[in-house]
Amino acid sequence: MEIFGVPSALLGSQLLVGLINGSFYAILSLGLAIIFGLLNIINFTHGAQYMMGAFVAWIALNKLGINYWVALLLAPLAVGALGVLIERTMLRKLYKLDHLYGLLLTFGLALIFEGIFRDQYGISGQSYPVPELLQGGVNLGFMFLPIYRGWVVVAALTVCFATWFIIEKTKLGAYLRAGTENPQMVQALGINVPLLITFTYGFGVALAAFAGVLAAPIYQVSPLMGSNLIIVVFAVVVIGGMGSIMGSILTGIGLGLIEGLTRVFYPEASAVVVFVIMVIVLLVRPAGLFGKA
Amino acid sequence: MTSAFHPHPEMLRIHDLHAFYGESHILHGIDLKVARGECVTLLGRNGSGRSTTLKSVLGLVGRRSGSIMVNGKEVIAEPTHRMARYGVGYVPEERAIFASLSCEENLLLPPQVASGGMSVDEIYRMFPNLLERRNSPGSKLSGGEQQMLAMARVLRTGAKLLLLDEITEGLAPVIVRKLGEVIIELKSRGFTIVMVEQNFRFAAPLADRHYVLEHGEIIATISAEELPGRMDWLHQTLGV
């Protein structure tokens, strides 16, 4: 069967790849958006924290025998705790300064973390096995769906929409939204904003690490895996609108799919299509598709 | 939720309060006392330091020194978020209604940090407009509704000392009248109120005492009984 002259199996598999990439874009840009919303910090360490999530899972498996399912919980907690430490000891001192200082600090930290892992493990990737429960695939008739890839999409989107629900529909989310608008007033109303900021940064970082664990069996676990991805994720955040939660999720998935389709119909442009869209969005709607001008 | 609130006859005592924004020295040794259940105003021209005095109590200025006693406890070293636990409720000049939250979300946002806070039903009885607009986004409320919401929000927390900054500014006379009725009711319920007000005609009949500020200092203290005899001086000083 062909669709627009393209075999359906090829189209389906590229759409699946796009959906998987989109899921990673969504979960990573969501973390960035949450952090930017409350802290006003562009977290350039996000890619390195994603990479560390994957490495924690890999080390846990190979050195400690801890399986994938435990790592899926453990790695976000461990990397999130490191995020809390970074916020408490470094980022906190920068809130009253220009945004540039936060950007420079997080960029420097990303280089340090990547350097440490390069020094220890080199740049050739480490493989992480697909967990037994998720091995194999399903023939959908028009394409073959590897179960693990389907799981990645479901898990990433579940986490994204759960995060959206927490932010939009719960009291904690109301604190976060109010704190994003006017942190001083939120403090005057009796809410511990410094603690809220620490928690938010830790949570955003944990999301990146969660994505890293999900990515470990698909991509090679490598010190550079984050820096390869993070530039596209920043473009996603800009297109969705800085600080917009739903914007990050929908834009991430949408751009992943567009990238996948471009790979089928015009492969030469697949590496730049996200950036072309970013330029167009910035020209037409500088606040982003879902951002408030 | 634990409360740091135990009644003390003196609800607010400020002594030798200095406040700074960066290098600018705004308050130059403010001294004032407010007893439990009193309503006092801070009067003065723009830039005299009235709003900064309220913000200093909350810790919302760059730097401050001196002494701030709330309900008999020294609080100058306390972080802003703890002030609500000492029974301090702040209604800022700009109202600070959160645009991304609905009217009711704004109302329910602050945690109840002290006992004796009003229930939501009581608040809706006091401000029926808010009940009608409970699902409207904060940004869609009128100025009067935003002001009522800003006041309602702190009443729910259990605050006993209300710091109200220019609550009548830019509002229609009918809303100003309603706010006057609310202040009278709050006084009758034993709330302690410190108001910064430009609208002297609104504040005069409500307050037990007036502090007049100029250049970050208190230049006069006028009781309600002394007020009629000091009106000419006050008009001249305030430029009203």
**A27 occurs within a structural domain:** yes
Tell whether B97 is within 8 A of chain A (Cβ). no
Query: Does the pLDDT of residue B26 top 70, yes or no?
Result: yes
Cβ neighbours of B58 in A, within 8 Å? 188
DSSP chain B: --------SEEEEEEEEEEEETTEEEEEEEEEEEETT-EEEEEESTTSSHHHHHHHHHT-SSEEEEEEEETTEE-TTS-GGGGGGGTEEEE-TT----TTSBHHHHHH-S---STTPPPHHHHHHH-HHHHHTTTSBGGGS-HHHHHHHHHHHHHTTT-SEEEEESTTTT--HHHHHHHHHHHHHHHHTT-EEEEE-S-HHHHTTT-SEEEEEETTEEEEEEETTTHHHHHHHHHHHHT-
For residue B238, what pLDDT band results from cuts at 50, 70 and 90?
A: confident
Cβ neighbours of A246 in B, within 8 Å? none
Domain of B94, CATH number, reads 3.40.50.300
Cβ neighbours of B83 in A, within 8 Å? 188, 190
Share of chain B above pLDDT 70, in %: 96
Which residue out of B2, B51, B98, B115 would a mutagenesis test of the A interface target, given it has the greatest number of A Cβ atoms within 10 Å?
B98
**A255 occurs within a structural domain:** no
Query: A193-207, B28-42, B170-184, B226-240 — which is least confidently predicted?
Result: B226-240
Query: Does the pLDDT of residue A196 top 90, yes or no?
Result: yes
For residue A159, what pLDDT band results from cuts at 50, 70 and 90?
A: very high
Which strand (E) or helix (H) includes residue A137? strand A137-139
| B164: number of Cβ within 10 Å | 27
Burial B106-130 (b: 16+ CB within 10 A, else e): bbbbbbbbbeebbebeebbebbebb
Nearest to B184 by CA among B170, B209, B202: B202
Segment B90-128, tens digit of pLDDT:
999 999 999 989 999 999 999 987 777 899 999 999 999
Whether residues A190 and B109 touch (CB distance < 8 A) is answered with no
Distance of residue A234 Cα from the nearest chain B Cα, in angstroms: 24
* Helix, strand or coil, per DSSP, at residue A228: helix
Cβ neighbours of A182 in B, within 8 Å? 96, 98
Query: A3-12, A13-22, A52-61 — which is least confidently predicted?
Result: A3-12
**B117 occurs within a structural domain:** yes
pLDDT of A293: 65
- Domain boundaries, position A87: 21-225
Whether residues A188 and B157 touch (CB distance < 8 A) is answered with no
Whether residues A174 and B83 touch (CB distance < 8 A) is answered with no
Which residue out of B81, B107, B146 would a mutagenesis test of the A interface target, given it has the greatest number of A Cβ atoms within 10 Å?
B81
pLDDT of B1: 44
A260-to-A120, A148, A249, A264, B91 alpha-carbon distances in Å: 34, 18, 17, 7, 52
Which strand (E) or helix (H) includes residue A145? strand A144-146
* CA atoms of A180 and A199, how far apart (whole Å): 14
Whether residues A191 and B105 touch (CB distance < 8 A) is answered with no
**B55 occurs within a structural domain:** yes
Return the structure tokens found at A12: 């389906």
* CA atoms of A240 and A224, how far apart (whole Å): 25
> Based on the number of CB atoms within 10 Å of its own CB, is A164 exposed (0-12), middle (13-18) or buried (19 or more)?
middle
* CA atoms of A147 and B148, how far apart (whole Å): 56
> Based on the number of CB atoms within 10 Å of its own CB, is A122 exposed (0-12), middle (13-18) or buried (19 or more)?
exposed
For residue A148, what pLDDT band results from cuts at 50, 70 and 90?
A: very high
Task: Please list, in sequence order, all residues whose beta carbon lies within 8 angstroms of the beta carbon of residue B39, skipping any fewer than 6 positions away.
Answer: B183, B187, B192, B193, B194, B195, B206, B207, B208
A290-to-A33, A45, A243, A250, B114 alpha-carbon distances in Å: 12, 24, 9, 9, 39
For residue B240, what pLDDT band results from cuts at 50, 70 and 90?
A: low
Query: Does the pLDDT of residue A243 top 80, yes or no?
Result: no
Cβ neighbours of B85 in A, within 8 Å? 190
pLDDT of B2: 44
Structural domain tally of chain A?
A: 1
Query: Does the pLDDT of residue A123 top 90, yes or no?
Result: no
Segment B184-209, tens digit of pLDDT:
999 999 999 999 988 888 988 999 99
Whether residues A185 and B153 touch (CB distance < 8 A) is answered with no
Query: Does the pLDDT of residue B5 top 60, yes or no?
Result: no
Query: Does the pLDDT of residue A145 top 80, yes or no?
Result: yes
**A258 occurs within a structural domain:** no
Query: Does the pLDDT of residue B176 top 50, yes or no?
Result: yes
**A268 occurs within a structural domain:** no
Distance of residue A191 Cα from the nearest chain B Cα, in angstroms: 5
For residue B6, what pLDDT band results from cuts at 50, 70 and 90?
A: low
Segment B39-76, tens digit of pLDDT:
999 999 888 999 999 999 999 998 999 999 999 999 99
Return the structure tokens found at A76: 């976000």
For residue B7, what pLDDT band results from cuts at 50, 70 and 90?
A: low
**B5 occurs within a structural domain:** no
Query: Does the pLDDT of residue A12 top 80, yes or no?
Result: yes
Task: Please list, in sequence order, all residues whose beta carbon lies within 8 angstroms of the beta carbon of residue B233, skipping any fewer than 6 positions away.
Answer: B220
Tell whether B95 is within 8 A of chain A (Cβ). no
Distance of residue A171 Cα from the nearest chain B Cα, in angstroms: 7
Return the structure tokens found at A53: 């999530």
For residue A273, what pLDDT band results from cuts at 50, 70 and 90?
A: very high
Tell whether B101 is within 8 A of chain A (Cβ). yes
* CA atoms of B93 and B199, how far apart (whole Å): 13
Which residues of A make CB contacts under 8 Å with B?
Answer: 171, 174-175, 177-178, 180-182, 184-194
Between A and B, how many residue pairs show a Cβ–Cβ distance under 8 A? 62
First to last CA, chain B: 46
Q: Which chain A residue lies closest to B22 (C-alpha atoms)?
A: A96
**B2 occurs within a structural domain:** no
**B71 occurs within a structural domain:** yes
Share of chain A above pLDDT 70, in %: 100
- Give the angle A82-A214-A86 at the CA atoms, nearest 5°: 10
Return the structure tokens found at B194: 């410190």
**A6 occurs within a structural domain:** no
Whether residues B58 and A191 touch (CB distance < 8 A) is answered with no
Which residue out of A185, A186, A191, A244 would a mutagenesis test of the B interface target, given it has the greatest number of B Cβ atoms within 10 Å?
A185
Q: Which of residues 45-64 of B touch A (CB under 8 A)?
A: 58, 60
Question: In this structure, is the dihedral angle defined by the CA atoms of residues B103, B105, B109 and B115, taken in order, positive or negative?
Answer: positive
**A138 occurs within a structural domain:** yes
**Cβ-nearest to A190 among B100, B105, B111:** B111
pLDDT of A81: 98
The interface predicted TM-score of the complex, written ipTM, equals 0.88
- Give the angle B11-B17-B19 at the CA atoms, nearest 5°: 125
Structural domain tally of chain B?
A: 1
Top mean pLDDT of A137-141, A240-244, A289-293, B165-169 is at B165-169
Share of chain A above pLDDT 90, in %: 75
Task: Indicate the average pLDDT of chain B.
Answer: 91
Nearest to B194 by CA among B55, B6, B15, B25: B55
**A210 occurs within a structural domain:** yes
- Domain boundaries, position B44: 10-238
**Cβ-nearest to B90 among A178, A181, A188:** A188
pLDDT of A139: 86
* Phi, psi angle pair for A138, to nearest 5°: -125, 130
Whether residues B81 and A174 touch (CB distance < 8 A) is answered with no
**B131 occurs within a structural domain:** yes
**B82 occurs within a structural domain:** yes
**B1 occurs within a structural domain:** no
Q: Which chain A residue lies closest to B138 (C-alpha atoms)?
A: A178
Identify residue A224 by its one-letter amino acid code: L
Tell whether B81 is within 8 A of chain A (Cβ). yes
Q: Would you mind telling me the total number of residues written for chain A in this entry?
A: 293
Identify which has the larger pLDDT, B238 or A166. Answer: A166
pLDDT of A3: 75
User: Max CA-CA distance within chain A?
Assistant: 64
**A184 occurs within a structural domain:** yes
